[in-house]
Amino acid sequence: MTTARLRLRGWREPDRDELAVLNADPVVMEYFPEPLDRAQSDAVFDKWQRNWSEHGYGFWRAETRADGQLVGIIGLGYATFEASFTPVVEVGWRLAVDYWGHGLATEGASASLRFGFDTTDAESIVAITSAMNVRSQRVMQRLGMDHEPALDFEHPNVPAGHRLQPHVVYRISRTAFHQNCLPT
């Protein structure tokens, strides 16, 4: 899939190396309990591949259309952790620092939402992040997603009492997306 500036494509085996570098970057991973080591990064890679085969969607490798450089991870996940609103389709993003501040996460996520509403029967798609991750919440707001405070929760996969445990939930309905969708 392409947008004005990005190509979103599936992951290939050789991409594991660059994904591991991104997942090990402490700046990129500031709002995760820890950067991922190689084994954890490979496990995430495997999970995304399973998502594609089991659900028909997943996270893409986002690259520049101009020269194919890795921009980051953008796409859709199937969240199954224990919470009042799961299981649910979620939209997510993780960009290499060099590509922050250019609107690329919003551009790729908008295309991901369109793909999600076109290819699944989900009536809404959520986005989830640590309450501290204001930059990510700004992406959600730019996408036209609404914060749903009633759904905010303590993430069960983050250690109890950790500063990153409180999470916020944003949501966009199929109708709202089609009324407000951004150009991609």
Ligand X SMILES: CC(C)(COP(=O)(O)OP(=O)(O)OC[C@H]1O[C@@H](n2cnc3c(N)ncnc32)[C@H](O)[C@@H]1OP(=O)(O)O)[C@@H](O)C(=O)NCCC(=O)NCCS
Q: Which two tokens stand for residue 12?
A: 């290939």
CB of 119 to ligand X, least distance (A): 22
CB of 77 or CB of 124, closer to ligand X: 77
CB of 95 or CB of 124, closer to ligand X: 95
Q: Which two tokens stand for residue 68?
A: 């194919």
Site string for ligand X, 91-120 (x = CB under 6 A): -xxxx----xxxxxxx--------------
CB of 53 to ligand X, least distance (A): 24
Longest dimension (CA), the chain: 44
Total interface residues for ligand X by CB under 6 A? 21
Tell me how far apart the alpha carbons of residues 146 and 167 are, in angstroms, rounded to a whole number: 14
Binding to ligand X, residues 35-74 (CB under 6 A):
72
Q: Compute the 3-state secondary structure of the chain and give helix, strand, coil in percent, each to the nearest 5.
A: 35, 25, 40
Burial of 73 (0-12, 13-18, 19+ CB in 10 A): buried
Which residues 6+ apart lie within 8 Å of 76 measured at CB?
57, 58, 59, 89, 90, 91, 92, 112, 115, 116, 125
81 touches ligand X (CB under 6 A): no
Angle in degrees, CA 129, 43, 37, rounded to 5: 80
Binding to ligand X, residues 123-142 (CB under 6 A):
129, 133, 135-136, 138-139, 142
Binding to ligand X, residues 142-181 (CB under 6 A):
142
Q: Between β-strands 124-130 and 166-173, what pairing exists: parallel, antiparallel or unpaired?
A: antiparallel
CB of 129 or CB of 184, closer to ligand X: 129
**Residue number closest to ligand X, CB atom:** 103
CB of 112 to ligand X, least distance (A): 12
CB of 169 to ligand X, least distance (A): 11
Give me the residues that bind ligand X (CB under 6 A), please.
28, 31, 72, 92-95, 100-106, 129, 133, 135-136, 138-139, 142
